[in-house]
Amino acid sequence: MIHLKNYQDEAVIDLSQKLLKLLKRPNARQNLVFKAPTGSGKTVMMASLLNKFCEELPERYELEKRKAAFIWIAPNKLYIQSYNSLKGYFAEMRSIKPIFFEDVTDNELQPNEVLFVNWESINKEKNTMIRENESNKNLYSFINKAKLNDTEIIVIIDEEHMFANTKTAKRANEVLQKIYPKIEIRVSATPTTNSDYRTLVERQDVIAEEMIKEGIILNPALDTIVQQGRSLEEILLEQALAKREELRQAYESLGVKINPLLLIQLPNDTSDNNTADDEKYIDVVLQNLEVKYNITVNNNKLAVWLSGRKDNIEDIEKPDNMVEVLLFKQAIALGWDCPRAGVLLIFRELKSTTFTIQTVGRILRMPEQKHYPNPLLNQGYVFTNLSKNQIEIVKDDMSYITMNKARRIEDYVPVQLNSTYINTRIVRNRLGATFRKALYEIAELNWELKREMGSDHFFETNKQLLKKRFINTDINTIEIVIPENVLLTGEEQTKLVTETARFAKTPSELARLFKDFCRALTAPYAAVDSTPVLEGGMKYFFEDYFGIIEYDAIKIMLYDQNQPIFIELIEKAKERYQEMQEHKANNATKDVQNYQWEVPIERIYNELYEEKEAVQRHALEPFYEYNRASKPEVKFAEFLEENKGNLHWWYKNGEKAKEHFAVPYIDYLGKQSLFYVDFVILSKSNVSCLFDTKTAGSDPANAHLKHNALVNFIAERNGKGLKTIGGILIEKSPNNVSTWWYCNNKITNTKDTAGWDMFNPISL
């Protein structure tokens, strides 16, 4: 039986009245927005609403239809959590029946059923749950059959704000348009949809009912801490553990059996896999917990929830569970709640400047849904190394749990292409030993520095030149200033920082900060290989030109006012290094590698690519199209999809990487280069098609040279019995009908297309 708080009962009554009003209207896809703070019991209120609604609906004779079925959509695994909650609520009642997709009977959603689905199972046309099949068992057919039997469809969009980013919102709207429900109930602590029909639960009402804490204190009383040579991370860990122990003692003094939990969140919460930064903090945290505090996985005081690792997670939500500390990442733990969590330690890199409601909301719930006589227990506590003059709490969205990853289709047929790769990494993809020479050349040229081997009297002269460039060399400490005693609500807000605490960076922290500084400046070179080279180059630079030791040099370079000057020097040194490497490359024998190529099993696309939903025969699914793709590329991709019935698959090739298919050719400058054709296609008759889309006359210097090299490549394949066609592909549009033409022979330009053949997938 559901027992509601006062504000919950009022919200359910208001939602029910608005829901019935919307049912009377003739429109479809009407929005009912339900806004309630984290920890207010949104699922409980929704369960009560559905129960009340389904009990009253049959008696509402003013309505044309008096039956309803529900679809509950949630991101990631939240739908399972909601399903389990509702199943528990309705265990003793028969008014509502929570189900999963496999529980649907007679290929139809029945009245009073709530079908729980996760967004990822319906957001792509190829997903099993929504794609057409011979048995006609898919979500849309279930819905349409229910509608034919006079059952209204109502969709509940849980955590509606998660669908707010542009890409997800567009796809969500397409899915909802196909479902075409009578009403969409949009549930969130921070809804993004506007509607005249809106039910709001006030945060103060939730606090008054003692469901959540009164607020959150960020970095309490840090200015009282004596640093004593310790790093800020060590101090924050110590303070967070001390606060957890303080809470434990407070519970114990009240006779309450609750073991408060400290949550430690890693800095990179946008990736499932652990980054170098994550590993750095994991090592610091685990070592300190074990050595200083005897908190380990083995003694059941530590739980770990990371990618591929879950230690001591079972029953961690129970009030008296032994686990004292949980190390986790937000992307792994989305939707997880643990009311006994009272302290949160968040490590942040400089690039991370905000907290999300999902993050701070983890410590807002009251473990027994009541406040305590000791006010210490009615607050949440956050410790963080974030250094900002204002603190922002922002709404979550789906972007941190989605990634542009595509995988090869299951029915992929091999194409057996020989590809070529020219390994130029030694001269282009990483900073090498000659970078220091480039750095010294630029420093002497631009800063007028001098270096006399076997003498050190020039050090002072060079130091004076630094002062002329307004570089401060008298740096005693590098400090980090972090906010202190900031009071937060846990809702979306921006709070100015009025109190701060200062901590000096230790030598090890400075070394790490300098490494991060150099890593951020390695682009376009590979950061892993180039960072140590840049670090070493700058350290030797200070020693060779100024006689300044490593520790002091790092402080000078990291000093805020000095940083822009050194960044400019490094950028110019990289330009000089590139010139040196290009000269070396032009006079060196290239490392040419030949290998068997197939469409990659998996490919990651960056933010410059956009998913295209309607594409069905691309070799990788889903298909991501470059948002600056040329018009011929876009149109030819559409042409291939129109002819997909004649193709095993088609593939939009990439550039400048070994995973992409390339043919060697000699460019107009006489250099050995690679031709990455735009499209690789395999027809149903197993004809390989290699095409590069152009407009007539484009790329006049190289287009014919690429084509002719490809013609030779194709002739060699055909000689081996591997039927292949291809070349430069030009669009013609007689009578506004697009046709595509290529030449089987060698050419001198792409303007004269007389004698070219039309590409027709049907005739292959």
pLDDT at 347 over 50: yes
Determine how many CB atoms are found less than 10 A away from the CB of residue 193: 17
Domain 215-395 has CATH 3.40.50: yes
pTM score of the predicted model: 0.62
Give Cα separations from 200 to 13, 301, 424, 622 (angstroms).
Answer: 12, 40, 61, 38
Q: Is the N-terminal amide bond of 507 cis, ω within 30° of 0?
A: no
Between residues 571 and 495, the one the model is more confident about: 571
What residues does 69 pair with on adjacent strands?
Answer: 153
Res. 397 pLDDT band, cuts 50 70 90: very low
Helix, strand, coil % in the chain, rounded to nearest 5: 35, 20, 40
Contact (CB, 8 A) for 628 and 655: no
The mean predicted confidence, pLDDT, of the chain is: 86
Per CATH, which fold does 6-208 belong to?
Answer: Rossmann fold (3.40.50)
For 701-719, what is each residue's pLDDT tens digit?
A: 999 999 999 999 999 999 9
Q: Please give the pLDDT value at position 349.
A: 57
Q: Please give the pLDDT value at position 497.
A: 66
What pairing do the DSSP bridges indicate for beta strands 390-394 and 493-496?
antiparallel
Between residues 137 and 181, the one the model is more confident about: 181
| Residue at token pair 């509940």 | 156
Q: Please give the pLDDT value at position 513.
A: 83
Average pLDDT value for residue range 331-349:
75
Cα of first residue to Cα of last residue in the chain, in angstroms, is 67
Q: Please give the pLDDT value at position 269.
A: 42
Instruction: Please provide residue 592's backbone torsions phi and psi, each rounded to the nearest 5 degrees.
Output: -95, 125
Q: Mean pLDDT lowest for which of 225-239, 258-272, 678-692? A: 258-272
Rounded to a whole number of angstroms, the CA Rg of the chain reads 32
Average pLDDT value for residue range 642-660:
92
Closest CA to 302 of 280, 273, 322: 322
Res. 388 pLDDT band, cuts 50 70 90: low
Counting residues of the chain whose pLDDT is more than 90, the rounded percentage is 55
Q: Mean pLDDT lowest for which of 163-172, 443-452, 482-491? A: 482-491
For 84-136, what is each residue's pLDDT tens digit?
A: 888 888 876 667 899 999 999 888 999 999 999 988 888 877 778 888 776 77
Q: Is the N-terminal amide bond of 524 cis, ω within 30° of 0?
A: yes
Q: Mean pLDDT lowest for which of 86-100, 415-429, 635-649? A: 415-429
> 547-577 burial by CB neighbour count: b if 16+ within 10 A, else e?
ebebeebbbbbbbeebeeebeebbebbbebb
Give start and end residues of each alpha helix (H) in 433-549.
Answer: 435-447, 458-468, 507-519, 527-546
For 25-59, what is each residue's pLDDT tens digit?
A: 999 999 999 999 888 999 999 999 999 999 999 99
Contact (CB, 8 A) for 217 and 505: no
d(CA 347, CA 501): 16
Chain region(s) in the chain for CATH 3.40.50.300: 6-208
How far from the centroid of its chain's Cα atoms is residue 61's Cα?
A: 49
Q: Please give the pLDDT value at position 190.
A: 85
Q: Please give the pLDDT value at position 270.
A: 45
What pairing do the DSSP bridges indicate for beta strands 341-346 and 309-311?
unpaired
Query: Tokens for 375?
Result: 């006010």
Q: Please give the pLDDT value at position 744.
A: 93
Res. 628 pLDDT band, cuts 50 70 90: confident
